[in-house]
Structure 1
Amino acid sequence: MSTVYEDLRKLLPEECVSIASGDIEVHRIDKWHAAADPEVVVFAQSTDQVAAVMRYAFENEVPVYTRGAGVGYVGGCVPVQGGIALSVAQMDQILEVNTGDGVAVVQPGVITGQLQEAAREKGWYYPPDPASLKECSIGGNIATNAGGPRCLKYGVTKQYVLGLEVVTAKGEIMRVGGRCHKNKTGFDLTTLMCGSEGMLGIVTEATLRMIPHPETRAMLGASFVDFTAAAAAVQAILDAGILPSALEITDAFTLAAARDYLGEENLPPGDAYLMVEIDGRIQSVKNELEGLKKRLEGLGALRVNEAADEAACEEIWQLRRDFSYSLKHTGLTKLNEDIVVPRSQLVELVNFARQLQQDTGIPVACFGHAGDGNIHTNLMVEDYADPVIKERADAAVDKLFTWVLEHGGAITGEHGVGLAKKPWIKQALGPVAFEMHQSLKHAMDPKGILNPGKFLD
């Protein structure tokens, strides 16, 4: 029996430590295809327990892979060197929702959607909204600096993290930031932890900024003859001084898959679809909605669907969610690459994707967050387990990432680097920045036990 297992049984309650096959199976993988068995799974229930595990791991140089809800897309929590899979999923309490201070204090296992509901009950708003908000956790959101459709107007996770409690690699408990909305005391270690992918410390508590909830929202769904026309509409909306809360775009391949999945009659005409969400005071939203509809019609929209209330907005958002299901319905494996390009490069990106599809024979579906250039570029592969197909698909991803970097873009906007994008990290960061990452990693994790084997190794 594992020595690590026996040692941890002496440090923690019996129910917190497991080598059961079912627990090992769950904790060997996330939503990506890579998998590796941990030696032992720990279900932490408190900061003190996390600290005890880390003190043991540091002394004995045991790898530790922290895991939240396990719904990442890049193999970020996969325990590639065995060791301890440290789950914080049971640390799932909303400790405080304080409208006076405009903060919520939560443990890392809290599901994002549950926090949004708790804030909404008090008339307040926690804006970060990753597509997996009903299943992803705050700890994972912080680890990847998660975004979502509404980050165009409201920003990504790091804009809402005021303070953190962090357990270091040595098992010390550190507090950074606080509950003040302005704080310039020392280096910004709070933001440093956002997007650190479990490699610099373990978040055990987060103090998050809330804002008053918008009084209402409304949406428009506009179809266009092609992607170029829809992308032009995106820029025209912003140039007109309008800042939507969300601005989503969809290409022809995705619409074709949706027509096959949902039925031709349930989809709008055209080869591109634009979703525009606005929010604010009731009267201002009403006026803005009318003006936006006229503007989109003037920009050549084939059809504009108006959603003036909550139920109608949800119908349009459901269509957006159905795009993913439609791609899955094709029977192909979706390699979901969350690349980002400058907004002026949207049309060029989709033109490149069409050429990549022609050159490789691999269908490419593009849809996502047009307002900030974060377009999910999905390579639709027949059988990724087939070595020949995998080699062809990996070569296509390499071409995509190379093009994106050459055009001033980024290889990930939301999902993180993890294992999936590790081969391109030096190219993406550059040699000096990569070396600086390694220096920071060594300073905060001198024995390299936090999430080893990922993009800095």
Structure 2
Amino acid sequence: MDSRLPVKLPPKRHTLIRSTVAGDARRPGAQGPTGAFTDLETPATEATPARLIDELRERVGAAKVSQREDDIAVHSTDKWYASHPPDVVVFAENTDDVVAVMAFAHEYGVPVTTRGAGVGYVGGCVPLKGGIALSLARMNRILEVNAADGVAVVQAGVITGDLQAAAREVGWDYPPDPASLKECSIGGNIATNAGGPRCLKYGVTRNYILGLEVVLADGRVLKCGGRVHKNKTGFDLVGLFTGSEGMLGIVTTAVVRLIPRPPARAMLAAVFPEFATAAAAVQGILNSGHLPSALEITDGFTLAAARKRLGADRLPDGNAHLIVEVDGRPRAVASEIEELEELLGKLGAARIDRAETEEACEGIWQLRREFSYSLRDTGLTKLNEDIVVPRSKLVELVEFARQLERETGISVACFGHAGDGNIHTNLMVADYDDPATRKKANGALDRLFTWVLDHGGAITGEHGVGMAKKPWIHQALGATGLEVHRALKEAMDPGDTLNPGKFLD
């Protein structure tokens, strides 16, 4: 197969079928979806869409192609509010299926939006231009777990938690742990360069991707990287595709790095009277030479909601909560957790709970997971933003959030990964379906993102840009950065076949 780049430009698109948008996908300054499907015409003859979908069935297999109403509905959206239906859903079962779909799409100029588990928060897998929704959910095989090489080979649809479990069965570990690890897929993690609580010590998805098999926009297969842990051969194409949000190619298989699983871990859960004190404790821990595997901080609004759900006995009075996890050799963990408990007391913790067994540690993490459900219990719409700020700006961020509350009347809940500054700043909005309320919420988001960028932060740490943060991409990347992104997109996908309508439009 010819592997030269760039790909060839597909035929010009025209409009034959029009779809409707089931949700308002607009944000301040954003261009909403066009609502138009493309012209599915052969180079030589005028063909109907129905005939071409029949051809797609012939190429891929009829059982893998669906226009069922329930399949169309599921593949119209993710966990964000915007929705747009594809014209057809293809359930790929192997790389050859993906190649067939992309060759077909390239030939006829059909947009393709790839979908993993569909648990994203930014509309990243919403098929804005209709066309084909390409599901990789059936590509869920763990092909190899090799402790001797410290690698696993997995298809893109493998659930992250299943990969972790398979690695741990042989005494090894795959560290990236997004909160949705029991339902999110490796392909989706690669698309967004997902993180999680353990990023502080272990890094994000990119740090664990050694090699990729990628189907390009015209159906050619690219293999980059490999299964060795050091490789400086050519450009970092693995890094190019990791975080590309399905806009440059479709990852079908990944070689991931495994590490020996630490045999022991322990945790502390501390309540502080004020958020500023807890944030200072984060710096105090790191300045003392400790590198926890996780440092999670929670603000007063979230704690108040959690007390209503869980009871005050689980979370005593205090306006901040800090979780500290350490792992390693048993004697080292036992010694470090003692030091950290003493240090937290000196740093102002009002109450400290210790967990030293797997069951007790999971109990603390379950408490942390309940925070999100507690916010849902408020009945407010949670706009889940994954902004990142320098660690030194944590207190300023929460102070700004309180100011935003006072000036807009919209509550703001902050919790997340204090160790790397990735704080989920959730705008809690009442009656979000009301146009005036939504306009006010969008204005508050604009203020939040502007403040974050002005203070050296980033508008997304792990969710990606997708549709949700499209209005701020120019501000975030700058003119030259955006030009470089567009040049890469043009080189890799000149026909804008892959995930069109997202942040580079």
Q: Please report the TM-score for the alignment, with normalisation by the length of structure 2.
A: 0.90
Q: Which secondary structure does the structure 2 equivalent of 1:96 belong to?
A: strand
Q: How many matched pairs? A: 457
Distance 2:310 2:334 in 1: 30
Cα drift, residue 4 of structure 1? 3.7
The answer on 1:189 being equivalent to 2:248 is no
Alignment of 1:40-439 (within 5 A): 40-439=88-487
Distance 1:337 1:77 in 2: 17
- Choose which of 19, 23, 29 in structure 1 pairs with 2:77: 29
Aligned match of 2:38: none
Aligned match of 2:32: none
Q: Which secondary structure does the structure 1 equivalent of 2:313 belong to?
A: helix
1:351-380 CA deviation, whole Å, 9 max, x = no partner?
000000000000000000000000000000
Distance 2:316 2:234 in 1: 53
Cα drift, residue 7 of structure 1? 1.9
1:260-318 CA deviation, whole Å, 9 max, x = no partner?
11112221321100000000000000000001000000111101101011111111111
Aligned match of 2:504: 456
Q: Which amino acid aligns with 1:411?
A: I
Q: Which amino acid aligns with 1:70?
A: G
Distance 1:341 1:266 in 2: 30
Cα drift, residue 435 of structure 1? 0.3
Is contact 1:214–1:280 with CA below 8 Å preserved after alignment? yes
Distance 1:383 1:32 in 2: 16
Q: Which amino acid aligns with 1:180?
A: V
Q: Which secondary structure does the structure 2 equivalent of 1:449 belong to?
A: coil
Moved over 6 A (4+): none
Q: Which secondary structure does the structure 2 equivalent of 1:230 belong to?
A: helix
Report which stretch shifted further, 212-221 or 382-391.
Answer: 382-391
Q: Which secondary structure does the structure 2 equivalent of 1:427 belong to?
A: helix
Distance 1:89 1:308 in 2: 37
Q: Which amino acid aligns with 1:29?
A: T
Is contact 1:269–1:303 with CA below 8 Å preserved after alignment? no
Distance 1:3 1:178 in 2: 41
Percentage identity across paired residues of the two chains: 68
RMSD: 0.7
Q: Which runs of 5+ in 2 are unaligned?
A: 1-48
Q: Which amino acid aligns with 1:428?
A: A
1:365-410 CA deviation, whole Å, 9 max, x = no partner?
0000000000000000012211011000000000000000000000
